[in-house]
Amino acid sequence: MFTQPRAPLPVFTLCLTALLGLAAASVLTGAGRVAPEQVLDYLMGARGDHHLEMVVTTLRLPRTLAALVVGAALGVSGMLLQAVTRNPLAETGLLGVNSGAALGVVVGIVYAGAQTGGAYLVWALGGALLATGVVLLIGSRFSPLKLVLAGAALSATLTGITSALLVADPVTFDQYRFWVLGSLAGVPLERVLSVSPAILAGLGLAALAARPLAALSLGDDMAVALGHRPGRTRVAVTVAVTLLSAAAVAVAGPIGFLGLLAGYLARTLLGGRVGPQIVLSGLAGALVLLGADVLARVVMRPYEAPVSLLIAVLGGPVLIVVARSRAVAAGAGDLISGGAARRGAGLLRPPLEGVRRILRRRAGADRAGGTRPDGARAAGLSAPAVRRRAAGSGPGRGPLPSDTLPVRLGALSVLLPVRSSFAAVALAALAVAAGVAALVAGQSAMSAGQALDALRGTGTGGQILLVQEIRLPRIVAGLVAGAALGLSGCLTQALARNRLATPDMLGINQGAVIAIMLAGLVSSAEMLFEHWWTGPLGALAATAVVFAISGGVGTQGYRFIVTGLAVTTLGGALTQSALAWNGLSSATAIHSWSVGSLAGRGYPVALPVAAGLALLLPAALAVSRRLDVMRFSEDVGAGLGADPRRTRSAVLALAVALAGLAIGIGGPIAFVALAAPVIAARLSGPARLPLVGAPLTGAALVVAADTIGRVVASGAEIPAGVVTSILGGPFLLWTLLSDRRS
């Protein structure tokens, strides 16, 4: 993947020359009408008017300096993380460090009234230190691809907490929606100077840590033999990354992918020398950020494009390239070669009895001729063994599977899966209980008896209106959206043989979000969920992009997920840009919907989606037997009569349609598609896909999260997607750790 390493001095000279050229372009160029000749005359000492002085001295020079400082800080911090974790995918934005710093700044604004660069830095340091400590704590436990997913879990939780604070404080949200884009516009010189001591200290620690990091790359034992202390090195790197990332966030907001880009360029040009890589990563970070900032001022004149969006456009493909590299594949070999189908927990571990049960059915037609089915050959069973297993102990019939109960209704008989049936009944009761609790709970002074009376139409007019016209339609919408998400997640996890392959991790949800947002902006509709029908179209487009880039699922499942994560991050940058381009009232509504909310939902959107779910659930049950077989491998599936290509296409189409419909109701309610199938599989056992239990679990989770969001904060409503993000991040970390233990 890498080119032949070059000598550091020519590379440094080339980067410095390009940096000087971009700095000159940054001072001479802008979105306004000030010509470069006027700026040159002013800089050469010619007299200029007050407007020219303000543009050059107050706006462009501080902005150029901020781009240089922030780019260098993020580039070096990303390179330090990559070196200490020995993971080319490590980056402060992907691993949640920037999200931690952003949370710290929001907490400072809300609770301490922080407004200056120094105050931002203090609060950002606390959040970044917390996130960096967690990243380094778990960094040695995960392979490169899994560490990115763990960072996504941490980032989701921190972002969820940030969103919860912003929902309760519209004034802070108005300030945050511009700052979160990572813009350098209007950054005062005082803010840059106030964080410069932290950046200088971080760069100094990075310089001191260069030699120990080079030794640490050989392993802890070798580093100790060479006279270094790995624990002390990691502490120094933690402090350096915290100082650099917190200072960068305090100046320009959370800018992702920059550390990944800088580290990739440094390794590509200089090979494995850690010290020169750190220096070049700082230069590359400043070069990329300054170039993106100059481009942002001219690409949409007289407006400015978000810097974070431009860097995401560059960083997303680099993330995919690095994820597909040989170095990452070697680090991920333990999780790819083992195969998620052998995991011990629930959904991904079909027992051998499942194959044998299917073989017994197929062997019945072959007993007379003494043939052996291809599926039996793939499972290692001889023809006599198949005949013996099919014959069983009784005359002319095989033994019943251990977890089934025969139920006869006259001439009809079915084998009822006992554990799965009990689990489905329990989960259905849980969903009903969640609906009843949502009907009763609320911030209005209404008892449970009054709510139930209003449901029957015997209460006061206000109570009947609240229960029958507001709460009940919202509960129905939540049940339908959760059921669609749970079933979609179950299908994608089984298709990819990976518990993390869910619509929100694969970019499917974000594609539906972008499609619905575009439809709303084009029609100028205030309620985006009126365009629910565009959700499946956007989800299909995102799926096509992810498939085209990653090349499919299966043995490259985790690369497939990282590709989806890159698409999701890019889509998130587009969403944040839409928040900044709209007015405050529209931006507030878009933000509430874009994080997943059931506010204002009712029968007009829930019933059409419920009708679609009623059609798609039987279709999913129809393909369940073939999908169940394919959980082993494509060879076994083909030997047992399942057409892998046709089955994949059908399952993927069902999953995409379900996810798109769910997004149309409640927006991207995170982690429900991940948690619902895992919980349902734990209850129903590994013998069958929880195609009934997963939608029931998803329905209960969404309604419960919406109820928590309505009652947890007095005077404000926290969207259901924020609640699931806060709780889903730890669940994803637990899932990763349980996969590792398996």
Does pLDDT of 207 surpass 60?
Answer: yes
Please report the pLDDT score of residue 141 as a whole number. 67
Q: What 8-state DSSP symbol labels residue 397?
A: B
Q: Where are the domains of the chain?
A: 73-336, 426-741
Ranking 296-305, 518-527, 652-661, 666-675 by mean pLDDT, the lowest is 518-527
pLDDT averaged over every residue in the chain: 79
- Compute φ and ψ for 79, nearest 5 degrees: -65, -40
Please report the pLDDT score of residue 560 as a whole number. 73
Residue with tokens 């090979």: 271
What is the average per-residue pLDDT within 163-182?
77
Please report the pLDDT score of residue 392 as a whole number. 42
3-class state of residue 113 by DSSP: coil
Does pLDDT of 375 surpass 50?
Answer: no
When comparing pLDDT for 152 and 444, which is higher? 152
Angle at 416 between CA 414 and CA 418, to 5 degrees: 165
pLDDT tens digits, one per residue of 88-147: 878 888 888 888 988 998 898 888 887 777 788 889 888 888 888 887 777 666 676 677
Paired residues of 407 in beta bridges: 414
Tell me the C-alpha distance between 561 and 149, whole Å. 9
Tell me the C-alpha distance between 95 and 136, whole Å. 10
Residue with tokens 């369940």: 624
Compute CA 220 distance to the chain's CA centroid, rounded to the nearest angstrom.
32
H or E element at residue 692: none
- DSSP code string of 244-296: HHHHHHHHH----SHHHHHHHHHHHHHTT-HHHHHHHHHHHHHHHHHHHHHHH
Percent of the chain predicted with pLDDT > 90:
18
Terminal CA-CA length for the chain:
32
Tell me the C-alpha distance between 563 and 740, whole Å. 21
When comparing pLDDT for 612 and 582, which is higher? 612
CB atoms within 10 A of CB 574: 17
Ranking 255-259, 278-282, 589-593 by mean pLDDT, the lowest is 589-593
| CATH code, residues 426-741 | 1.10.3470.10
3-class state of residue 76 by DSSP: helix
- Here the contacts of 58-63 (C-beta below 8 Å, separation 24 or greater) are 59/30, 59/186, 60/26, 60/27, 60/30, 61/27, 61/189, 62/187, 62/188, 62/189, 62/192, 63/26, 63/184, 63/185, 63/186, 63/187, 63/293
Does pLDDT of 481 surpass 60?
Answer: yes
Distances 308 to 131, 233, 282, 290 between C-alpha atoms, Å:
21, 31, 18, 12
Helix, strand, coil share (%) of the chain residues, nearest 5: 75, 0, 25
Task: Answer positive or negative: Cα dihedral of 314, 503, 334, 738.
Answer: positive
Ranking 54-63, 390-399, 715-724 by mean pLDDT, the lowest is 390-399
Ranking 143-157, 316-330, 446-460 by mean pLDDT, the lowest is 316-330
Please report the pLDDT score of residue 285 as a whole number. 94
When comparing pLDDT for 527 and 56, which is higher? 56
Pick the closest to residue 251 from 462, 471, 72 (CA basis): 72
Does pLDDT of 389 surpass 50?
Answer: no
Percent of the chain predicted with pLDDT > 70:
80
pLDDT-derived band at 289 (thresholds 50, 70, 90) equals very high
Ranking 116-125, 166-175, 177-186, 585-594 by mean pLDDT, the lowest is 585-594
pLDDT-derived band at 148 (thresholds 50, 70, 90) equals confident
Whether cis (ω within 30° of 0) applies to the bond prior to 302 is: yes
pLDDT-derived band at 32 (thresholds 50, 70, 90) equals low
Please report the pLDDT score of residue 393 as a whole number. 40
Ranking 70-74, 385-389, 439-443, 446-450 by mean pLDDT, the lowest is 385-389
Residue with tokens 């960083």: 315
Write the CB contacts of 304 (distance below 8 Å, at least 6 apart in sequence). 31, 183, 185, 296, 297
What is the average per-residue pLDDT within 166-195?
80
Please report the pLDDT score of residue 140 as a whole number. 62
Tell me the C-alpha distance between 394 and 300, whole Å. 78
Tell me the C-alpha distance between 282 and 284, whole Å. 5
Q: What 8-state DSSP symbol labels residue 140?
A: T
Ranking 137-151, 159-173, 233-247 by mean pLDDT, the lowest is 137-151
Compute CA 171 distance to the chain's CA centroid, rounded to the nearest angstrom.
27
Please report the pLDDT score of residue 433 as a whole number. 94
Please report the pLDDT score of residue 81 as a whole number. 87
Please report the pLDDT score of residue 387 as a whole number. 42
10 Å CB burial of residue 573 (0-12, 13-18, 19+) is: buried
Does pLDDT of 739 surpass 70?
Answer: no
Please report the pLDDT score of residue 401 as a whole number. 57
Ranking 64-73, 271-280, 401-410, 458-467 by mean pLDDT, the lowest is 401-410
What is the average per-residue pLDDT within 218-243?
85
- Compute φ and ψ for 564, nearest 5 degrees: -60, -35
Write the CB contacts of 328 (distance below 8 Å, at least 6 apart in sequence). 88, 89, 144, 145, 322, 559
Asked if 153 contacts 229 with a C-beta cutoff of 8 angstroms, the reply is no
Tell me the C-alpha distance between 128 and 123, whole Å. 9
Identity at 311, one-letter amino acid code: I
Asked if the domains at 73-336 and 426-741 fall in one CATH topology, the answer is yes
Compute CA 615 distance to the chain's CA centroid, rounded to the nearest angstrom.
29
Please report the pLDDT score of residue 20 as a whole number. 93
What is the average per-residue pLDDT within 304-317?
81
Please report the pLDDT score of residue 339 as a whole number. 37
Tell me the C-alpha distance between 565 and 11, whole Å. 32
Tell me the C-alpha distance between 284 and 74, whole Å. 10
Tell me the C-alpha distance between 194 and 142, whole Å. 37
Pick the closest to residue 653 from 521, 522, 547, 528 (CA basis): 547
Pick the closest to residue 147 from 319, 338, 349 (CA basis): 319
- DSSP code string of 20-65: HHHHHHHHH--SSS--HHHHHHHHTT----HHHHIIIIIIIHHHHH
Q: Which of 44-48, 161-165, 317-321, 443-447 has the highest mean pLDDT?
A: 161-165
Tell me the C-alpha distance between 348 and 632, whole Å. 9
User: What class is the 73-336 domain?
Assistant: mainly alpha
3-class state of residue 712 by DSSP: coil
